[in-house]
Homo-oligomer: A and B are copies of this chain.
Amino acid sequence: MTIKDIARQCGVSVSTVSRVLNDRPDVSPENRRKVLSAIQRSNYIPNNTARDLVKTKSDAIGLVVRGVSNPFYTDIIRVIEEQVTARGYTLVMQQIGTCDDEVKRGAMMEREKRLRGLILLGGRSDYTPQELAPLNIPYVCCSYDNQYGTLPPDSYASVSIADEEEACRAVTELYRCGHRRIAALVSGTEDRSISQLRYQGYVRALAAHGLPLEQELVIEAGSFDIRQSYLAMQRRLLAGAQFTALFAISDNMAIGAMRALREAGRRIPEDCSVIAIDGLTVSDYINPTLTTLCQPMEHMGRRSVEILLDMVEHRGGPIRETAHTTLRTGESVRDIS
């Protein structure tokens, strides 16, 4: 089955078939219907040619994962893949480092892989319209949002938690348990990622409870990596920092810091309480089990795909959704009040 066969069968010219295949507008609805229906029928012939003809419109959904090996993403990726596949699309995934530009990579994938839509898993929260201009397909920001308001609110789609508020809630939980010297472990305080947002939540909580912001208690790991977190905490402890509680912006970073605390002879939670945000599965098995605000990863992955495909299939526009965390009480926070 060739394009010529389809043309003959439909009584149209080869270039008409070509126009339909290339999804161009200059074809009458009648001819488009005839050609697509002929192609559909030819699909029953299991040969490559027939498939090639049918596969003219790409079914590729791109997923750019920013932050290689971030265990927080594992569950979300699983759900996104499941949902994309179940809806008849093909997931094309690429992972980039936290220093790479997810929008540039997405735009490159859009052209190279002929994407229909794009999910960005992790990214900056301050895109400008100019930066996003290379993207010509619907996209959803998963697990982050344009929280610096640099985009018109109805111009993009996202599914995320309110990072600043949730961080504020975590720190307030430590305050409620009587802690007054509360350290924060972050990737960066000005990196325009969720790290900065969660750091702002920490600052807000301190202010709300009348606690001073002390630079000695702000620990920057420079990345979300478990080893960098371990080393950053180790250095700060060697420098003699004193605190009774730690807020880590992610479970993974908390686990790194907990080893440094332990090695410095600080027992958790007797000498130092630890709270984090994310809710990794493994955090519920470590010693002590970690108290953390769990993000609804399954829900976030599913909603990201639903919102994206509604846009791809012209059923809806961009939607911004805020998900809420659930406190999972582990053994890592002690009430000293």
Contact = CB atoms under 8 A, between A and B. Distances in A.
A285 B226 contact: yes
Contact of A258 (B52, B285, B288): B285
Contacts of A21: 52
Interface residues of A, number: 53
Given A2-B15, A259-B289, A282-B71, A78 B51 contact: no
Contact of A230 (B90, B256, B285): B285
Interface in A1-39: 2-4, 14-15, 18-19, 21-24
A111 B51 contact: yes
A183 to B, nearest CB: 18
Contacts of A287: 258-259, 262, 286-288
Interface string A191-233: 0000000000000000000000000000000000011001000
Contacts of A82: 95
Contacts of A14: 3-4, 14
Contacts of A132: none
Given A81-B93, A252-B282, 10 more contacts: A23-B48, A51-B111, A69-B74, A69-B75, A69-B78, A71-B282, A78-B95, A81-B94, A90-B92, A259-B286
14 contacts: A2-B15, A2-B19, A3-B18, A22-B48, A22-B49, A69-B75, A74-B74, A81-B94, A82-B95, A91-B92, A92-B92, A226-B281, A226-B282, A255-B286
Interface of A: 2-4, 14-15, 18-19, 21-24, 46, 48-49, 51-52, 55-56, 68-69, 71, 74-75, 78, 81-82, 85, 90-95, 111-114, 226-227, 230, 252, 255-256, 258-259, 262, 281-282, 285-289
